[in-house]
Amino acid sequence: MKKYKKILTLAIALIIGLSLSFILRDWKGHFDYEIDPKYYSKTQSPFENDFDYAFDTLENYYALFYRNGTYDFLERRSDYKKGIKNLSTDKEFFDRMNKILEDLGDGHTNLLDSEESYDMKATFVLSNKEAKGEVNVDLINYLFGTKISRFFDKVFKESRAATKNLITQDINKDIAYLKIRAMIDPGTADFEEDLELLKTYLKKSKNKKALIIDLRGNGGGNSAYTDTYLYPMILGKREFKDSHEYILFRSDEVFKYDPQYPELRDSIKKIKESDFKYLEDNIPFLKKDKEMMDNIRKNYTHIIFNPGLENAGEFGDDYKFNGNLYLLIDEDVYSSGQRAAHFFSDNKLGTIIGEKTGGDGIGTTPAMVKLPNTKYILRFSHELGLRETKSMEESTYTIPDIEIFKKDQSEIPSNDGCVKKVIEIEAQKN
């Protein structure tokens, strides 16, 4: 989940009273957030203690060392720490740690500042996920402060930005266009606004010759935006496939730091040798990459088998698009945006144009811990997502059918190289 920043300027004034200890229930027992006293050691600076806490957390739970090829990250710990000891301010620590974490090559692993923390609070609480049982309430309260949902909700509604998340327009009489900036949460006022616009525009445009779905710049959010709404609307009763996904964990205890979708815990199982064998037999690149398969066997203990989406058929054919589909992507398509690109590609829905995506579309919301001294929140990727593809890259990224470089792209559709390419292709078909 990420990056729908419309209310951030109010964050510092509004975040209040952080609680010190909460207990989070898991499916078997209880975990607490008590911090080991060693992370308050007087023999080190508070920054060194927080550094150790962050690195110990990553060493125990971070899931992507082997996917990203960052095996030596932990081996560089002592070198990284040398630059921490003499820092003077929390801001210096924040900047230094995020610079270090960049070496993981993972956009889901970083320290959150106060604005980002406020944004997360808004995502988890203001969208009513708390009421729906879709978040770990005690963890959310521990990370972001005591519950003030009514007040936050008022502020959120009053501060909605003028920039629209969904843009619709006709490129010409034959080509329709959708621009989706972020996968915002169902249940929010902004989403309901998007949904009504989608219904109106798709019904009006269903018989045009082509529809462009522009995901460029979409850094993710909630996959339900496309999984439950956009794609079922466009596809109607058409059958589709969704590639099976497998989500691996290095420990089941990491769920005490998982802020969302507690129901997933019911699906987790301890990996047996037969499960490893299943992965090896069903994921083509693991058959060829013995080193990767050995790393998986050695380092991952639990797994979720995700059978993929099922077409609920809620929308029938009311909004089904009958023409050609085009998907526009770039390097900023990430997380849930990436998942949407996966689906489009897997189902061969149409032509993909632009640049290779940013990836990381398999899994759920990153795990989060609060550093004991600076109180910054460390979020990190706690899942290794795998798909039944020929290469690891394909399981992470989407490669366009037609490459149009950034320099030839534009925010204005009439000047945009990707849109011009669609116009050209459609002209050749007629």
CA distance 31 to 232: 39
pLDDT top residue among 176 and 69 = 176
pLDDT digits (tens, 9 = 90+) for 362-408: 777 789 999 999 999 999 999 888 887 776 766 678 899 999 988 88
**Number of CB atoms found within 10 A of residue 135's CB:** 23
CATH 3.90.226.10 boundaries in the chain: 166-243+309-361+400-429
Q: Give tens-digit pLDDT for 328-373.
A: 999 889 878 888 998 898 889 999 999 999 876 677 778 999 999 9
pLDDT, tens digit, 9 for 90 and up, residues 212-228:
999 999 888 788 899 88
pLDDT at 128: 58
Better-predicted residue by pLDDT, 285 or 97: 97
User: Is it the case that residue 98 has pLDDT exceeding 60?
Assistant: yes
pTM of the model: 0.70
Per-residue pLDDT tens digits for 248-282: 999 988 888 888 766 666 678 999 999 999 999 98
Average pLDDT of the segment spanning 122-126: 65
User: What CA–CA distance (Å, rounded) separates 371 from 375?
Assistant: 5
Q: Which CATH superfamily is domain 166-243+309-361+400-429 in?
A: 2-enoyl-CoA Hydratase; Chain A, domain 1 (3.90.226.10)
User: Average pLDDT of the chain?
Assistant: 81
CA atoms of 50 and 46, how far apart (whole Å): 6
Give pLDDT tens digits for 197-217.
Answer: 999 999 999 999 999 999 999
The reported pLDDT for the residue numbered 48 is: 97
